[in-house]
Every structure is written in C-alpha cells, then in structure tokens.
Structure 1
Amino acid sequence: MLRRKLERSKASEKQVVFFDELPWIASRKSGFLPAFEHFWNSWGSRRGNLLIIVCGSAAAWMIKRVIHNKGGLHGRVTRTMQLSPFNLCEAHEYLRSRKFSHNWFQTLELYMALGGVPFYLHQAQPNLSAAQNIDKLCFEPGAPLRNEFNEVYASLFENHERHLQIIKALAKTQQGLTRAELQQKAKLESGGTLSQTLEELNRSGFIGITIPFGRTKRDSLFRLTDEFSLFHQRWIEGKRLSEEAGAHWIKLRATPRWNAWSGFAFENICLKHIRQIKTSLGIAALQTESSAWRSRPKPGEKGAQIDLLVDRADNVVSLCEMKYSAAPFTITKKYAEELRNKMQVFQTATKTRKALLLAMVTANGLADNAYSQELINNRIEIAALFEP
C-alpha cells in the first residue's frame, strides 16, 4: 500500500515517510519489521528521492532492532539523532513560552520532581505554583502521573521487572552502587542479562555510569539519574496517598524526608549540567575529565566520598560540593571538618600532586562566614545552571 502511494508521486519530488513510535508499530507478532526490511531493500533504497524517518521512545529497542540490526536493516541507517530531555534552561524557556511567570526556583522545584520530559512539563498549569502543580499531577485522586512510573517501564522494556529491581535499589542510595553492590541489593544474578539490563537503562537515560577517579571500568558506579523515577520511589511507591484533594506536597515539603530527597535530586541535576558548572569555573575551553570518587577506608579510618570532581589539564582538580537549601547554605564547624577530611583523604589515597580547589554549587547561595572564606575557592549559584 505504501509503495503504491509513493509510486503515484513524481520521481523528482522529495518524499518523506515518518514512522512515529516504531517499537509500538513493530510489536512482536505484527510482522512489521521483516516487511519493512523487504520494502526498503527491494524498492525503497533505490529511490533517490525517498527519505524514511523512524523514531521511538523505547531507546533500547531502537538501538538493538534498528541501529544495531543484524538482519535486513544492517548498515542501512544514514544518521541517528538522540532527543534528550530538556535541560534547566530549555525547560525554563518552554514554560515561559506557555505563559508561566515562574522564576528559576519554581522551575527548579518542578524539574526536581518531573525532570525535563516535555510531556510531563506540558501538563503543568501556568496559574499554579510548582508545588501546586506537583500536587495536581502526582498526588490528587486521578492525577495523570500517579501511575506513570510502572506504565513507563512496562511500555519501554521487555521483562521490565528486572529494570524495576535495579531502579528501586538505586533509589535508596545517593552515593551510587558498584555492579557487585547493585547485584546484591537488587537480588539479581550476574551475567549477560544483568549487563544488558544496565545498558538498556543507561541508554534510555534512567541511570548514569561513572568510572571513579583513578579507577578502572570494573569499579564503575551506577546511579539513578531520572528525576521522576527518584521522585516516585521516594514519595509515591508503597505510600498510602490521600483520596482527597489538598495540599499534599506542600505539607511534605516541611518534613526531614523532603530535605533528604531535595538534596539527592539537586545533586542529580548538577551532574547533568557539568558543562554549565565548567563554564562558571572559567574552564569551559580547558580539557577536563569529570568523575566521582570514594575511598576504601581500612578499619578505624575515616572514609570520604566526592560526587563530582573535575580533573583539569591545568594541573588542578576541582572538588565540587552540591547543596540544596531554602536559604543560603551555611558551612558549620562540623561540615567544615568534613570538607577538610574529604580533601585530605582524597589527596592521600590518590597520591595526586595536583592542586585541589573546592567549589560549592548551591541553589540559594552560600552564607559568608569564616569557614566559607577559608575553604571555598569557587561559588556557583543557580543562575549558572540555567545557562544554555
């Protein structure tokens, strides 16, 4: 049918055929993919005026079945384009285009819960605050995103239960897990199936994988990076939600649990905006390598973890601390000691001869006191994260 339709047009006319959500069209029993392979190889590939565009939100499926296809579509892809969620700047501009009068802090709170997925942001209402929108989208009876978490994973992955076990294990830790730790906590067997599941989650943008400073790929840390998955696991999964409309989220914002979640969520957002952080540090044009690091203390020794460090070509390592708070963040005597310990343990364990500079990334600025003046070399505030 498609071939007959295209043959009716002049050969000199440009023809563009767009298949949206190919994974849905080419379901297991549909027979679509073999038919499409035959169509392209026997006829379409010889049409100089024909352009076929295929897309799908199931990134792992698209990579396996199209980009890395081992059958009739092998080597047929001309160009690939990965559409990532909006970053903070893009999300803010999008909301502004829809008549939102939100400032950066309102956009940040919405982003911490929903991430940069346009479909989620599109459902927010400009006449409501970020907290009111989160209530309406996630907590009220019949909220459109209340059951979104399970539906997303079921639609994107075959045997999605394995993927959910990994996500749930990672949601419980802010520091990330090694493969061995993740295997144990998610109660999964090691092997090719685990590797494939981790790759699918990584390629689909749900988890991030980093190689710690001075370590090898075997020591990689896996971390949950999808904002909505973290939000769902912390606030909706297994929780008894009210069946009455009300300021549910606004009430939760006053709890210690909210402080723990917001710190994790803000840190994740910072790790997605390393380019903006580098620009703020004045090293955008400098060759760098970003990673995380944690020590392996012996019994009786103090450990340390650094969630973002930037190894620079100018013989400097920037150690970045990321803190979310409703007011300017204050470095206390206790926290100052933690920072000194981090720097000392890192220098001793890695034996680096590079200079160490401490940078503080904050949502609401850094309170000026003796500790901040002594320890902090660079201060990065929310405006930097909203740069393009």
Structure 2
Amino acid sequence: MNFVGRQREQNLLQSVEIVNKSKLTVLYGRRRVGKTSLIETTFSKNRLIKFEGLEGESSQAQKENFIRKCQQLFPGQFHLARTTNHWIDLLVLFSQCLGTTPCIVFFDEFQWLANNRKQLVSAFKYVWDNHFAKENHVHMIVCGSISSFIVKKVIRSKALYGRIDLEIHLQPLNIDDIKAIIMKKRTNRELLEIFFTVGGVPQYLDKFNLDRSPQLNIDQLFFTPDGYFLQEFDRLFASHFGKNPVYKKILTHLAKEKFSSRDDLLHALQMTEGGRLSDYLEELQLADFVEPYSPVNKPASSVLIRYRIADPFLLFYFRFVYPNIRKIKTQRKHVGRKAFVSDQAYAIWQGLAFEYFCDRNHELIAEKLGFSAVQYEHGAWFKKRDLLTGGSQVDLLFLRSDRVVTLCEIKFQSEPIGKNIIEAVQNKIRLFPNPRQLTIETVLITATPATPELVNEGFFRSIITVNDLI
C-alpha cells in the first residue's frame, strides 16, 4: 500500500528544528497503525538512524542488538561497547559517535528495547541531559505500540518531565484517507463495510483485495482456517497483555452488549468494587481497545459512565469470530460468514458500527449541516430505564452554543426508511431534558434514501445519506 494521509503529523514532525538544540518526540499508537511508515516516509530525505526493539527478548539481547547496529553505523568507533553492560555507557558512546551532524534517531518499539522496564528510561534521561541535549544536534524519536508503557513510563515519568518537545498519539486513518486508498474500485457503502470491519488501520486495509467485494474478502480473511485475521487477535493481544485472561473476558462481555456500566462489568467478571477493574480498564483504554462515555449533557457524571469497544476490528472479532473460532478452524470446506453469523445479527452489528462511524466523524456531519463554525459538544444521550417512562437513547446529539440541539437518528439498513420512524424520534424528544427550552432540530443519517412519504412529512430538518459523508 502506498503511504497516504498523515499530513498533519508530517507537518508536526518536520516543524521540529534541531539547528541549535536537540529535540525529543514521543510517538505511540496501536500496532499496525503506521507509526514506522510515518517516520520513514517523513524523513526519507534526512539522515535517519533507526533502532528497533526485539519482541520477547531479554535486556541483554536488546543491548547486544543495539551494539551490533552501532558497530555497523560507526565502524571502528564503537569497539569499547563490548567492555560495558550498562545502557548509560552505551548511550554515551553513541552520543560521542553522533557528533554535531544533524540527524534523526528513531527508537522503534521502545518498550521492547527497554524490556518493559523503566531502567532504560532513567538511563536515557541522564544521557539526554548530559550529552544528547548538549553535544548533539539530534531529533530523537521514541516510538512504541504498547501505549500503557509509553504513556506511564515515558510521557508521565518524572525522569523525562519537561523534556518532551512533541507528543503524537497516532490514530487510524480517517475516512478521506481510506477513500484515497480504495479510490473508485468500490462503492461508498462498500467502503463503509470495510471500515466497519477493520477501521482505518493501514495494514489491515492492505489485506483487502479491492477487485473482490467486501463480503468475499471478509469470508476469506475472517472465516477460513488460514484467514489472516483469525490469528491477528492473538498476535495483537499477547504483545499488550500477555496471558492475563481478564482483559479477554472484558472484551468478550463488551462485544455481546452495545455498552456496559461498571456494575455490569463487575457482575460479569465476578469482581468486587475493591478489585483491579479500574486498572484493567485503564490499560484497555490506553491500548485504544475500550473507551468510556457518558451522556453528552452530563459528561462529568462518573455514575453514568458506560464502556464500549472502541476498535472496529476487535468488535467484529469478538462478536462473530471468537465465539466460532473452533468451527472456523475445523471446517472442511470454505462456507463463508453466513455459515456462522445470521443475517439478523450481522445487521445489528452494522447498525452499531455505523453509529461508531458517525460519532467519529462528527465534524463531517456538522459541516454538512452547516454549523461547523459553531462551538458544540457531541456524543450520545441516554436515560436509564425506570417504571414510569422506560429507557431512551439518542445515538448522536450536538449541544450547540447557539442554543440549538441537533438530535441525530442513525440507521444502517438495506430498505428505504419510512415515516414510522417519526414516532420513535418524537418519544426521544419527549424524554430528553430541556429545561432551558433550547430549539431541537432533528436529523436522519441513513445508509439508504428516505421514502417520499417520510420526506413529505417534513419532520426531519435534514436527511443525510452515506454518499453525503464520503
């Protein structure tokens, strides 16, 4: 796959000046998101020195690999490295070899280089203060895919406090970038189906054969014994959480539901309030696997916080692949997704995935509706079920500074939307608390056109289709 997008990140990286002073950047994000490609592409015309941590290897193996690379880079200058076994000595020697020539030094998968311990961070701090920052002109980039280590042990560490010049949390590609990859080979709806399944992870998108339909790709990649994504979770999960089963239990539970409260998770995991649930959830959030959310009109309410899977690939995997993995691995002939997943279950998942897409692309929706210049808060609104009124939820709500509430009803289905949807939305409006008497505008976001009968009712201020957003 050709490198696409990332213009903002490239501009940030290229804006770092090292003419008079060394600078330090920290880059992190989930595996396969394109961190290495970003650095190598951005600095393809610069002097770039790259060190890569070795997954699963000992601290001694990491040091020996570092020494080998330095001996290749600086023949005859790194010979004293074999007489020491301390990171401080190795990094000081590396600094001396660099001299004053400007360059980019890229530590890829830093958490493995550090053996997931903080000793290398402490050594790095000492050499940075006393050598790199004083004697070199280097843009040092520390990069890692285990975000919990990078955030907790590097960004939040006392050792590097005040020393980091640029921090980038690299996110998956946005829909415009994905469209640039897919171009005109598939329809907009098919593009969404691909996004629903793997999100904007570049390496995942690269696995799709765009000469074939998304469904045929999904059948091959997820529901055959040798499908790439059948084993991807184990590769992804092991590097983050090892063999701890609790993380998988949390994801399994969240995949079954649209969301879960903290109490729901405690009950499902058979844990007490004093247990480690907060720690587990924080680790999953740092990995970009899970996200918390609360009603948009009560963002600070911890009591109302819900949790959901934030990664499209993981949602699809745990909802459809993980429960059927033994059957998929032992099937004698290729039968495809429909042998394991009903059309009804698949349609429900597509609805959830479309809601996720709209939430992530709220800026596109605001621009389409003409209020992108207005300040707003966005998110879901929900009300717990009670005996008098029952529960209610709005998929996407904009609380605007111009005293307007934009209430979005989101539907992803094959058939045109009829006017029977009006009653359901009217009920949500009735239950939505509006003590300030704000103007409420209703919007329908749909994968298929509305029927003429619904359009003629004039109930929705705007009706947006997939083609309007892509």
TM-score, length of structure 2 as denominator length: 0.73
Segment of structure 1 superposing worse, 28-37 or 14-23? 28-37
Amino acid at match of 1:205: D
* Structure 1 residues 257-307: Cα deviation after superposition (integer angstroms, max 9, x where no partner): 111111111111111111111111111110111122222343143321112
* Structure 1 residues 222-268: Cα deviation after superposition (integer angstroms, max 9, x where no partner): 22221111101111112122534535136667621111111111111
Alignment-derived partner of residue 190 in structure 1: 273
Alignment-derived partner of residue 179 in structure 2: 92
Following superposition, the deviation at residue 344 of structure 1 comes to 0.8
C-alpha spacing 1:257/1:54, structure 2 compared with 1 (3 Å): same
Alignment-derived partner of residue 311 in structure 2: 226
Paired residue secondary structure (2:297): coil
Tell whether the 8 Å contact from 1:252 to 1:258 is kept in structure 2 after alignment.
Answer: no
C-alpha spacing 1:245/1:7, structure 2 compared with 1 (3 Å): farther
Q: d(CA) in 1 for partners of 2:106 and 2:296?
A: 44
Alignment-derived partner of residue 212 in structure 1: 295
Following superposition, the deviation at residue 5 of structure 1 comes to 4.9
* Structure 1 residues 297-323: Cα deviation after superposition (integer angstroms, max 9, x where no partner): 431433211121111112111111111
1:381 counterpart = 2:465 = yes
Alignment-derived partner of residue 7 in structure 1: 96
Tell whether the 8 Å contact from 2:397 to 2:406 is kept in structure 1 after alignment.
Answer: yes
Alignment-derived partner of residue 248 in structure 2: 164
Amino acid at match of 2:211: N
**Alignment map for 1:320-339 (pairs within 5 Å):** 320-328=408-416, 330-333=417-420, 335-339=421-425
Amino acid at match of 1:90: D
Alignment-derived partner of residue 178 in structure 1: 261
Alignment-derived partner of residue 201 in structure 2: 117
Amino acid at match of 1:276: L
Tell whether the 8 Å contact from 1:336 to 1:371 is kept in structure 2 after alignment.
Answer: no
Q: d(CA) in 1 for partners of 2:144 and 2:117?
A: 18
Following superposition, the deviation at residue 29 of structure 1 comes to 6.7
Q: Which structure 1 residue ranges, 5 or more long, are not aligned?
A: none
Q: d(CA) in 1 for partners of 2:284 and 2:122?
A: 26
Q: d(CA) in 2 for partners of 1:188 and 1:356?
A: 42
Amino acid at match of 1:167: L
Q: d(CA) in 1 for partners of 2:402 and 2:117?
A: 57
Paired residue secondary structure (2:295): coil
* Structure 1 residues 64-121: Cα deviation after superposition (integer angstroms, max 9, x where no partner): 1110013x3333211101110012221121233xxx7122122111111111111111
1:343 counterpart = 2:429 = yes
C-alpha spacing 1:203/1:9, structure 2 compared with 1 (3 Å): closer
Paired residue secondary structure (1:308): strand
Tell whether the 8 Å contact from 1:319 to 1:358 is kept in structure 2 after alignment.
Answer: yes
C-alpha spacing 1:384/1:131, structure 2 compared with 1 (3 Å): same
Q: d(CA) in 1 for partners of 2:296 and 2:93?
A: 58
Amino acid at match of 1:125: N
Q: d(CA) in 1 for partners of 2:211 and 2:445?
A: 30
Tell whether the 8 Å contact from 1:131 to 1:250 is kept in structure 2 after alignment.
Answer: no
Following superposition, the deviation at residue 374 of structure 1 comes to 4.1
Alignment-derived partner of residue 16 in structure 1: 104
Paired residue secondary structure (1:320): strand
Amino acid at match of 2:164: V
Alignment-derived partner of residue 71 in structure 2: none
Amino acid at match of 1:146: L
Alignment-derived partner of residue 152 in structure 2: 64
How high is the sequence identity, in percent, across the aligned residues? 28
1:255 counterpart = 2:343 = yes
C-alpha spacing 1:207/1:372, structure 2 compared with 1 (3 Å): farther
C-alpha spacing 1:2/1:301, structure 2 compared with 1 (3 Å): closer
Return the match for 1:144 from 187, 208, 228.
228
**Alignment map for 1:304-319 (pairs within 5 Å):** 304-319=392-407
Q: d(CA) in 1 for partners of 2:359 and 2:278?
A: 23
Alignment-derived partner of residue 37 in structure 1: 125
Segment of structure 1 superposing worse, 17-26 or 87-96? 87-96
Alignment-derived partner of residue 302 in structure 1: 390
Decide which structure has the larger Cα Rg and report it.
2
C-alpha spacing 1:191/1:92, structure 2 compared with 1 (3 Å): farther
TM-score, length of structure 1 as denominator length: 0.88
C-alpha spacing 1:247/1:107, structure 2 compared with 1 (3 Å): farther
Q: d(CA) in 2 for partners of 1:57 and 1:9?
A: 27
Segment of structure 1 superposing worse, 59-68 or 207-216? 207-216
Following superposition, the deviation at residue 192 of structure 1 comes to 7.8
Amino acid at match of 1:196: D
Q: d(CA) in 2 for partners of 1:233 and 1:340?
A: 34
Paired residue secondary structure (1:246): coil
The number of residue pairs the alignment matches comes to: 376
Tell whether the 8 Å contact from 1:358 to 1:376 is kept in structure 2 after alignment.
Answer: yes
